[in-house]
Amino acid sequence: MSSVSSKYVKYILSKPMMGAGGKTGTWRVHRPVIDAEKCIKCGLCWLYCPENAIDWLEDKTVAVDYDYCKGCGICSDVCPVRAITMVKEGVI
């Protein structure tokens, strides 16, 4: 106990980390599936993803991080060309 601990342990301080609330991808009931053909690379799905689980890449295409995506479906709702479909998990 009396050995010097890091200040993070001693004062219960926190460091930034992905998945601080867990591997939230496991929460999903539906997963967003992006139709690359329809996608117009507008970036709105990235903009409106609450989880910050969509990456808007250098070439302006998007990629979903399924480790953390909670499947809320906002991306699908805001996509102006309906390029994102919410598919039930477990369905091939």
| 11 or 92: CB nearest other proteins | 11
Q: Does 7 bind other proteins (CB under 8 A)?
A: yes
Residues 57-76 that bind other proteins (CB under 8 A): 57-58, 60, 65, 67-74, 76
- Least distance to other proteins, CB of residue 66, Å: 11
- According to DSSP, the residues that pair with 82 across neighbouring strands are none
85 binds other proteins (CB under 8 A): no
The burial of 45, by beta-carbon neighbours within 10 Å (0-12 exposed, 13-18 middle, 19 or more buried), is given as buried
Q: Is the dihedral of CA 48, 49, 52, 58 positive or negative?
A: negative
